[in-house]
Structure 1
């Protein structure tokens, strides 16, 4: 089952920033900004791991039952049309305390699309299944997420792009001035930045445990 939900405020405060695009030096040694309309993909702080205890209420290390980590994010993005479509697959690697018997567990995870680092455009929740073979401490599962982004919204206005990439010579009056210091330029760049964030859908107790460890 996949359902739309709101991202808890606690997770918003913990979202790690992601850069979008890259910087190169042009032939005049000025900074040249090259961007992609594909959303940046990342795991927000403290949501890439989950720990299960038995009994569930315990936080004693001796009661630790399963630990799992999201890893190996793989992204495919088609930015040839509009909307831009990004698909991500990833692995969940888990370790259990007791190797006896086959076991399957379902771990809830979410993916959300953010604009300008804080504006939530969508959020969905699903489950990833992890299988443990009899006698094995380690199990693994694979899951995915997807996002669509309006290409026009993810593209910089031509005036902003020209301002960012204008070649500046040492003798120019504004040669040492970073265009990003202009609030209007920074705001336009921020608005054109989209992120696809993926993490475990944690309870408040699980999130607090991750923060403290």
Structure 2
């Protein structure tokens, strides 16, 4: 349903903050560590918004305001039964006409996605870009929160051992990716979550972004 610009899951081809797994070299081999904290990203075609005046025009001369989401970062609290990720980001906008003070209110969404395709929850919020008189650019900050059950983000013990066990050079399966096993791959997929943020776009706005 969603596609992102950065390769953590098939769903995420952009900027991802907070990885769900990583590899670490040790003195005796390679170990893999895994965090239950969800990855964070922006689905493709939802990180930018363009407002036109008149609204139904798509001429470059009719572009009124453009804005994009940037500097996405997250903090994760794993201390409770629910793993809570708080996502903070900036929205930077530019308008065509600098005359007069103006506020432009933009809607944005936050979704929690399991396994790359299953939308667990969604919320929609709004943020105001305040342009002062004579100012072409404005910046605002947005925030979103995603909550995941620890039990859902925890791998079964036998799968966790396969994924995280230390692999020493010379071991018969040292170079074998544990995710090559379909059972392991599916268990990791089910336990993998993302928190995705983007502008809540209309069908027309999505179509415009997709064809730029």
TM-score, scaled relative to structure 2: 0.89
**Does the CA-based 8 Å contact 2:29-2:169 persist in structure 1?**
no
C-alpha separation between the residues in 2 aligned to 1:48 and 1:132?
A: 20
C-alpha separation between the residues in 2 aligned to 1:168 and 1:144?
A: 40
The 1:157/1:57 distance shift into structure 2, 3 A limit, reads same
Q: Unpaired runs of 5+ in structure 1?
A: 1-11
Q: Unpaired runs of 5+ in structure 2?
A: 5-10
Does 2:144 align with 1:137? no
Paired residues for 1:64-79 under 5 Å: 64-79=63-78
Partner of 1:119: 118
Shift of residue 159, structure 1, vs aligned partner = 1.1
Shift of residue 188, structure 1, vs aligned partner = 0.9
Shift of residue 160, structure 1, vs aligned partner = 1.2
C-alpha separation between the residues in 2 aligned to 1:186 and 1:107?
A: 38
Shift of residue 202, structure 1, vs aligned partner = 0.7
Q: Which moved more, 1:68-77 or 1:126-135?
A: 68-77
The 1:131/1:199 distance shift into structure 2, 3 A limit, reads same
**Does the CA-based 8 Å contact 2:2-2:44 persist in structure 1?**
no
Shift of residue 109, structure 1, vs aligned partner = 0.7
C-alpha separation between the residues in 1 aligned to 2:127 and 2:61?
A: 25
Partner of 2:23: 23
C-alpha separation between the residues in 2 aligned to 1:115 and 1:23?
A: 22
Instruction: Point out 4+ residue stretches in structure 1 off by more than 4 angstroms.
Output: none
Q: Which moved more, 1:77-86 or 1:108-117?
A: 77-86
Deviation sequence 1:52-106 (CA, Å, 0-9, x none):
0100111100111000011122322111121111111221110000000000011
Shift of residue 212, structure 1, vs aligned partner = 1.2
C-alpha separation between the residues in 1 aligned to 2:194 and 2:37?
A: 8
Shift of residue 21, structure 1, vs aligned partner = 2.0
Shift of residue 170, structure 1, vs aligned partner = 4.5
SS across alignment from 2:75 = strand
